[in-house]
Structure 1
Amino acid sequence: MDTVRSKLLALLTPGADPVPPAPDGRWPDIDYAGRDVADWEPFEHLVRLRALAASAPDQAAIALRAWLDLDPVCPNWWYNQLGAPRLLGDAALILNAPSDAVTAVLARATWENMTGQNLIWAAQVAVRRCLLTGDEEGLADAFRRVEALLVTGEAEGVQPDHSFHQHGPQLYNGGYGHAFAVDTAAFADLAAGTPYAFSPRALAVLSGFLLDGQRWMIHGGRYDIACMGRESSREGNAGQARELAGAAGALARAGAPRADELIRFERPSGARAFWRSDYLAVFRPAWSAAVKLSSTRTVLSESMNGEGLGGRHLCDGALHLWREGEDHPDLSPVLDWRHVPGTTAVQGPGPPAPNHLDRDRGGSPFAGVLSDGWYGVAAMHLERDGMRARKAWFFLDDGYVALGAGITGAHVHTTIDQTALPTTRGYRLLEPGELTIRTGARTGRWSDINRSQPDREITAEVMELWLGHARTPGYAYQAGDDEVAVLANTTRVQAVRHGGLVQAVFHEPGTLEGITVDRAVLLQIDGTTGHVACPLARGGHVTVNGTRVTLPASGETRRFDLERALERTMRR
């Protein structure tokens, strides 16, 4: 217990010394009657109290008593049960000031109905309570509960593909999953060398989560906003990805496998399909990209507590591209949220309506991702707001090809890009299209997408590039300089060829360019090596040119061998 206490106290690094409180222990500039559910005003008292505890313990003791006497209540349960007790426990530990009143507040963090990251926060409070009260059994229980979360499965938490789910099957690596990674790594570091040390199995799960999950969703030092849920609408939040290097180092100190990789925590290379979350990430030396799909199996990016008001289309084929060496400022306050890059969406006046908390899902079961470790394929049947589209992406050496077919609905746009100026990006239309480009200054506020955020105006120079579909129910465009041929772009099959590589999305059984399949699949063939995935996540078998392949029900990519390579043809 003493070892854990010493380690924890060393981690509780205070912020800048705050202005001292008034003689009554309160700060006059804090609204103690505030009731904001996302950015609760009285919480700032505890932030300052923790910093004050290290630098001015006498003043901190007065501020501690003031909080306990006031005991404010937030309309959001999280602050009452988790957020406030955790910071109060930090201050009490630094001050070495256990008391019945402090214990009573910390006891509000119960285990009941806690899952995923919420359980981690409850365990943090429990550790502080047990260290203050000398409860060794309770301390051991808290560490056991955290270790028990370090498994992969289909419940909330770490998934078998190393993505992270919270609030149902909702991709949240850059939100709850970020806190989970940082906090569980800290728990592992605290427990190392004590009777509470995590098992090798648990450490391996956490190591895989950071290296094969979190690392693949960071571009240019920030999280892809499509994996952040409503937390992408908090100013500066995407930049918290930089904290992961420290978490990886803590995990290496705890004795986790792949320690050398954790210590380096380098930018990845290749392509990775997150089949549990309808997500594909691709990294090359000069660029990276990620696409987020939706299906009836996955929850859309949520809105809650006045947050995430612009995220309606973040799971509708959102494709974000990052170029190394190019500045990528966070444009969230000024974005046109009906023009999310990669998406096909109905246009209208004003911002789109937000999704509901953990209720809204994709409109079709057809969505899948495939990767052989370097190349990648993604496809979905988009059914949203009375509009339908069949969308496919093929990731190659120097960029990607995006194809769309069967687009129905009125006032529909497919957005190629929306990015800050100046930019070095370029795109090539592979089919005639109704192209529009718009550039200029855009002004917005963080409060436009999150009611708890600042309402100061932010202005940025932005380029928007999109295709209309009044006369053309499809599209084909390319980013990058790969030599590529479009083999098909119909509602039945979409496919490209790049040298000897063929990538295809069969929306139904069919034949194309010497390839015959007997069911809907995502397919890649390179010489005699094939890769296939089931976009319906139903498993079973597929026959490709006479070769019978077993498909995992998960939607995971399966490798197989063909008896002979395809004959090479080129078509545009």
Structure 2
Amino acid sequence: MNKFIGCILLGGCLLAVLPLWATETDELGIIKKNYRNILMLSAGKADSLQADFIRIKPETEMSDQMVVELHQRYPFDLDKIKGYLKKQVADGSWSDINYADTKRSGWEPKLHAERILELAKLYYAEGTDYHRSEIVSRVIHSALAYWFSTEPKCRNWWYNQIGLPKTLGAAFVLLEEQLSAEEKQAAIKVMENAKFGMTGQNKVWLAGNVLIRALLQNDGQLAKAARDTIASEICTGRKEGIKDDWSFHQHGPQQQFGNYGLAYISGMSFFSRLFQGTSYQFDRQQLAILHSLVNEGYRWIIWNRYMDVSSLGRQFFHHAQVHKAYGLAFAAADLGLKGFPKAGNLLVGHKHFDDSDYTVHRSKDWMGTVKMSSNRVIGTELVNEDNLKGYYLGDGATYFYVRGDEYLDVFPFWDWRKIPGVTSYEDVAPIPMAKGMKTNNKTSLVGGLSDGQRGMTVMELNRDGLKAYKSYLFADDFVVCLGTGIQADTTLCVTTSVDQRLKEGELLVRTKSGWREVIGKESFAQKELRFFHDHTGYIIIGKDTLVTEVGKRTGRWCDFMKMYKPSIVEGEVVSLHLRHGVRPKEARYQYLVFPGSSKEKLEKFDVEKEVIVLRNDATAQVVQVPSIGKGYWVAVYQKKEIVVAGKIFTPEQPGVYYVEHTVQGLKKKLEAPFKLK
């Protein structure tokens, strides 16, 4: 039989292609070869995307598997390698790893597995003195012996069944020809910790580990079953995985773009290359779904190679917005979607992800997002001591980007009760734990309406005895933020955060005599206030007191992400929030945000002419912005007729509507009824 194997170039990596008459053994062999070629890519010549990425300073503490794998793209740090060779002790362990660690996230013994993989890649990489080095080989086998004999286990099942087999499995495939019979059996035993099961990305991870075991055992039937299990998750409309609106869910009805979803698209792009040229490869329909997930989902949430904060899930790691954007960029490139996400800023429009209670607005100059929750959608989660302070993340959080780095690594300095856009209690007590359905908003009155370029997003807030009705109307140059029906029976002051971001230049306030700098903490009680900071303007209208805070703050990453070592960091923050007082009754607010603006534009803006608020109460919020159309954006919270500009509008049910005057009266042009549950 002709054993000739051809090659193709995909995703910058030379992959093999089998002839049509290939045997099962041929197919497994070529998949192994593809696996090794992909793993060794970081040791080769960097393409433009990788060259761009490796200019970023590497992290020293990592828990996110995607970030760990992203860091494997860096060139070998030979000084660090020398440390591995020097610090390994006689039993094969390393003296600088805490093997008794009990953390559920950032578990230190996983570093042992990561070093085995790094050394295995170094052993086969050309261009260094360590290429096929006997010293490196000896250290690798000693490290394997320690792992096989001690069998470290983490309290978090994910490491034992997914994380460790995934990392070690890659090393086993690279080292297969170097493994003794005993080592290979021990390697297979490690891989047997992963079995088919679970849902969404967890299902894909487990099946990927079973695939590695099949390759080590040369078991074509098992490999085929693993491939089919992986491919079975390339679909839409299930409870977990890709949703019909091209968001991604895991751990129930919860938006997981930057966590499980990113692992999913990254993994699927890997498998698309791994199976290329064999009968295992994904079909056109499956690839089309993956492309749509990127183009109709992920492309919306990246701005200037920064991922939206509201897409990070529970993973508020250091530099998370950057790492996750690059992780997506590599996945998109592997799928053949070149120029992503640099070209992502060319995307202009407005999209509401209805399955996830999440809105993204993109102009040519700025991006804004809103994240909400309801009795259908979970707002956030606390798992494995990640996201210890994120209880309010799904309560109408808003972020506005011009450069993209406005909130980069601000989290240690945040007042987590004043997440931008959120209405909550002011309190010095510990923030409640965001566990399970506890972060749900007890209402169905949450949704959004879009005409493709602009839109209105609305929510009833009903949590912990606090009620409010909040809406966000995105126009071309500004966002209208309304709140009403704010009430609570508590001795705690209720606040609404306008913004809380890194300080970049002065915070200025407009006075009768001109602009002046705001220093420290100040309170303002005027009917109309205008502020400007970091290319963003704010106009606050109403009777409630506006408090600004400018200056240095200190904090610790470990206070909200337990995997980090205790260390105090310092930064400067600008914060603006409204105070509605103690036991508010029917309190309300109105403010406008102008991302990508200037002081001159903010000075000249005529609020009465440009923003017409016809109603702002617990029944409805009605707004007209003449610059974007003659119609009215209407949020209806109660099924009753309402008067809009002198005409009666009777909605069939609560929801968001866009209506216009006609000869016959008000005509409904667009509608998004709430999904009542």
Which stretch shifts more, 373-382 or 239-248?
239-248
Q: 1:303 — aligned with what?
A: 382
Counterpart amino acid of residue 9 in structure 1: R
Distance in 2 of aligned mates of 1:127 and 1:236: 32
Q: 2:158 — aligned with what?
A: 78
Seen in structure 2, the aligned counterparts of structure 1 residues 325 and 167 have a Cα distance that, compared at 3 Å, is: closer
2:625 aligned to 473, 498, 501, which one?
498
Seen in structure 2, the aligned counterparts of structure 1 residues 474 and 154 have a Cα distance that, compared at 3 Å, is: farther
Which stretch shifts more, 326-335 or 141-150?
326-335
Q: CA deviation at 1:165?
A: 0.8
Distance in 2 of aligned mates of 1:189 and 1:501: 50
Deviations 1:161-183 (A, max 9, x none): 01111110011111111111111
Is the 2:445–2:655 contact (alpha carbons within 8 Å) kept by the matching residues of 1? Answer: no
Q: CA deviation at 1:404?
A: 0.5
Distance in 2 of aligned mates of 1:101 and 1:515: 75
Q: 1:375 — aligned with what?
A: 454
- Is 1:333 the counterpart of 2:416 in the alignment? no
Distance in 1 of aligned mates of 2:339 and 2:94: 45
- The CA RMSD measured in Å over matched residues stands at 2.0
Q: CA deviation at 1:315?
A: 0.3
Flag structure 1 segments of 5+ consecutive residues without an equivalent. 253-258, 539-572
Corresponding residue pairs, total = 530
- Is 1:356 the counterpart of 2:435 in the alignment? yes
Distance in 2 of aligned mates of 1:35 and 1:295: 35
Q: 2:344 — aligned with what?
A: 266
Is the 1:167–1:358 contact (alpha carbons within 8 Å) kept by the matching residues of 2? Answer: no
- Is 1:151 the counterpart of 2:151 in the alignment? no
Distance in 1 of aligned mates of 2:238 and 2:650: 30
Distance in 2 of aligned mates of 1:327 and 1:152: 33
Distance in 1 of aligned mates of 2:340 and 2:282: 17
Q: CA deviation at 1:29?
A: 0.9
Seen in structure 2, the aligned counterparts of structure 1 residues 158 and 359 have a Cα distance that, compared at 3 Å, is: farther
1:5 aligned to 32, 49, 55, which one?
32
Q: 2:590 — aligned with what?
A: 476
Q: 1:16 — aligned with what?
A: 77
- Is 1:111 the counterpart of 2:174 in the alignment? no
Is the 1:220–1:328 contact (alpha carbons within 8 Å) kept by the matching residues of 2? Answer: no
Q: CA deviation at 1:144?
A: 1.1
Q: CA deviation at 1:250?
A: 1.2
Distance in 1 of aligned mates of 2:341 and 2:357: 29
Q: CA deviation at 1:265?
A: 5.3
Q: 1:293 — aligned with what?
A: 372
- Is 1:134 the counterpart of 2:214 in the alignment? no
Q: Give the SS at the match of 1:333.
A: helix
Q: CA deviation at 1:378?
A: 0.8
Deviations 1:383-440 (A, max 9, x none): 1121100111100101210001110014100110001112232211233332111111
Q: 1:236 — aligned with what?
A: 319
Larger radius of gyration: 2
1:209 aligned to 272, 279, 293, which one?
293
- Is 1:52 the counterpart of 2:119 in the alignment? yes
Q: 2:146 — aligned with what?
A: 66
Deviations 1:50-74 (A, max 9, x none): 0111222332122111111111111
Which stretch shifts more, 180-189 or 311-320?
180-189
Is the 1:116–1:166 contact (alpha carbons within 8 Å) kept by the matching residues of 2? Answer: yes
Counterpart amino acid of residue 7 in structure 1: N
Counterpart amino acid of residue 654 in structure 2: A
Q: 2:465 — aligned with what?
A: 386
Seen in structure 2, the aligned counterparts of structure 1 residues 246 and 529 have a Cα distance that, compared at 3 Å, is: farther
Is the 1:182–1:244 contact (alpha carbons within 8 Å) kept by the matching residues of 2? Answer: yes
Seen in structure 2, the aligned counterparts of structure 1 residues 524 and 417 have a Cα distance that, compared at 3 Å, is: same
Is the 2:447–2:457 contact (alpha carbons within 8 Å) kept by the matching residues of 1? Answer: yes
Q: Give the SS at the match of 2:542.
A: coil
Is the 2:306–2:405 contact (alpha carbons within 8 Å) kept by the matching residues of 1? Answer: no
Distance in 2 of aligned mates of 1:137 and 1:261: 38
Deviations 1:161-209 (A, max 9, x none): 0111111001111111111111111112222221011122211111111
Q: CA deviation at 1:326?
A: 6.4
Distance in 1 of aligned mates of 2:235 and 2:613: 42
Q: 1:541 — aligned with what?
A: none
Counterpart amino acid of residue 536 in structure 1: K
Q: Give the SS at the match of 2:436.
A: coil
Q: 1:168 — aligned with what?
A: 252
Q: 1:566 — aligned with what?
A: none
Q: Give the SS at the match of 1:243.
A: helix
Q: Give the SS at the match of 1:124.
A: helix
Distance in 2 of aligned mates of 1:325 and 1:370: 25
Q: 2:657 — aligned with what?
A: 523
Which stretch shifts more, 38-47 or 132-141?
132-141
Q: 1:510 — aligned with what?
A: 641
2:171 aligned to 78, 83, 91, which one?
91
1:193 aligned to 277, 285, 310, which one?
277
Seen in structure 2, the aligned counterparts of structure 1 residues 372 and 44 have a Cα distance that, compared at 3 Å, is: same
- Is 1:317 the counterpart of 2:450 in the alignment? no
Seen in structure 2, the aligned counterparts of structure 1 residues 137 and 265 have a Cα distance that, compared at 3 Å, is: farther
- Is 1:426 the counterpart of 2:537 in the alignment? yes
Is the 1:211–1:262 contact (alpha carbons within 8 Å) kept by the matching residues of 2? Answer: no
2:332 aligned to 222, 225, 248, which one?
248
- Is 1:454 the counterpart of 2:534 in the alignment? no
Counterpart amino acid of residue 420 in structure 1: L
Q: CA deviation at 1:352?
A: 1.6
Q: Give the SS at the match of 1:315.
A: coil
Q: Give the SS at the match of 1:73.
A: coil
Aligned-pair identity in percent equals 31
Q: Give the SS at the match of 1:231.
A: coil
2:93 aligned to 12, 26, 36, which one?
26
Distance in 2 of aligned mates of 1:184 and 1:532: 36
Distance in 1 of aligned mates of 2:416 and 2:230: 38
Q: CA deviation at 1:308?
A: 0.7
Q: Give the SS at the match of 1:308.
A: coil
Q: 2:302 — aligned with what?
A: 218
Deviations 1:69-100 (A, max 9, x none): 11111111111111111111111111113611
Q: Give the SS at the match of 1:469.
A: strand
Distance in 2 of aligned mates of 1:354 and 1:372: 37
Seen in structure 2, the aligned counterparts of structure 1 residues 359 and 466 have a Cα distance that, compared at 3 Å, is: closer
Deviations 1:207-234 (A, max 9, x none): 11111112222234232232322212x2
Is the 2:388–2:560 contact (alpha carbons within 8 Å) kept by the matching residues of 1? Answer: yes
Seen in structure 2, the aligned counterparts of structure 1 residues 174 and 490 have a Cα distance that, compared at 3 Å, is: same
Q: Give the SS at the match of 1:25.
A: coil
